[in-house]
C-alpha cells in the first residue's frame, strides 16, 4: 500500500503526505455531499419547481365563534 501511495504522489508531483491529505479531503467532501445533497430526477425537479412557483391555495382554519360577554356571564367593557 505504501508503494502505491508513493507512486501516485510521484505521478502527481507532490509529496506523499500532501497526496494523502488531498485524497482524504476529497473523500470527506464527497461523503458530506452525499449526506446533505438531495438529487432529483428531471421529473421530480420539475414537480418541485412547479410547487414552489405555484403553491396550492392556503387553507385558513375556520375559527370558532367567540361567546359574547353577555352570554358568558361577564360584564361588557364600557
Cell of 43: 421529473
pLDDT tens for the chain, 78 residues: list them: 899 999 999 999 999 999 999 999 999 999 999 999 999 999 999 999 999 999 888 888 887 776 655 555 566 665
Residue 34 CB neighbour total at 10 angstroms: 9
- Global confidence as pTM: 0.50
Q: C-alpha dihedral over 21, 23, 26, 30, to 10 degrees?
A: -130
Amino acid at each position: 500500500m505504501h508503494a502505491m501511495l508513493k507512486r501516485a504522489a510521484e505521478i502527481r508531483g507532490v509529496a506523499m503526505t500532501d497526496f494523502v491529505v488531498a485524497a482524504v479531503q476529497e473523500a470527506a467532501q464527497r461523503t458530506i455531499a452525499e449526506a446533505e445533497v438531495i438529487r432529483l430526477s428531471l421529473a421530480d425537479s420539475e414537480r418541485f419547481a412547479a410547487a414552489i412557483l405555484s403553491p396550492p391555495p392556503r387553507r385558513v382554519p375556520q375559527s370558532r365563534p367567540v361567546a359574547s360577554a353577555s352570554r358568558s356571564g361577564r360584564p361588557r367593557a364600557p
